[in-house]
Structure 1
């Protein structure tokens, strides 16, 4: 029996790792190919047949939409399920992708449950799910607790070794997070505002500092605490033309904004994983304008 093959296309290594781990954990025996952009995916698809394509939208050299259009022009790929994994959820973009022949969407940030549900649906429609289900233990095809998927993806499954050092939803109380060094007196004043989208919901945030590699954010503490290494999308609407940028990344650090145990605010370090030239250009212009300019070291 031939293996079911899936192609994962994304220019961000972090996102590819999350997708691959979710697939391997829930679909044992599945074969995974990967490509860093649409151009590399074209080359791979010209040599190998796949049963499903999971693809980012915004990538250098060849975008996900361009790859989708190309696939639908190829006789061998006309009916291959193509799922767009993207932070572009606007009606205009959705319509554009549907017209190009997309099979489904997974919005960033995504949970493993969402990924598994969409992949099951696509493989079922393609008549490929039964072969995987027959050889997989029942628990492997059911949803479970995926709170630390991002952590496990980066640690090769050795999350228990690192967990004691990294705050989690159960342990990320102010006592477990180092207070921010000399924070500004007013947490709501900053260099700009944005929206941080996490798998569990969205949070308004104040941008305290911004570089091409990361952003320092302040959010109001809620019952749903952000987790270190959790994937997220930062929506920025700045500038004279009200430009919008959706920046993919993960939470590198979570700390109490005020040096006290009952701090109402959290300070987050958000690392970017995008390498899209347009997004980097947007960030450069945003920093240059001074609307988010403040010195802090990206390597800190």
Structure 2
């Protein structure tokens, strides 16, 4: 078998060094190259073939998304595993990456084991984001081009269970990213405590799997300007770095359908 080649693209040198160290320690036989921005990465990819791309999103000049879009237009990189490593975990960013053909999405900061599992999963595979996922992502992006449209969305994005010390609360999801979720609970069912540890069971639209995310209560808001409000919005900040949980959550975010305006 020929030597596996990995390209790391990030404008921050300490991140390139950190990722290189992880790959070198766990996969000593791999060949590693690095690039300080998307344009340098593109030139390296044009000059030789790579089996895995680990790329930052936000870089001067050619961004990670630009590099991904370019790569998917090249026959030699149409199905090469491409993992986006970035601090941007907002829903629209995830959807844009999925639409462009990303294989996976990992938020900063991350643990060594998380990156190692991603590499084990994708190296040697030719897994391409499904056309159906790209179609749904494109629809969702088109639906949310302006903040005004986004603010009009009233229907919940899904259902979940919030597990806190007082018990299990059924709730509706208002917003969700890879880092946090905002849910709505009925006041009569109980009100969580600020900074309380929690577990959020986010149900897949298909019902096939559940993302069980560990976190803590970071905010509580009355849904109405009244002491008699029946619903409370609860903000939960995730603390999980488990790659399998984040993968399930990524697919959940991608599966969300357009909210009627």
What TM-score results when the alignment is normalised by the length of structure 2? 0.48
TM-score, reference length from structure 1: 0.42
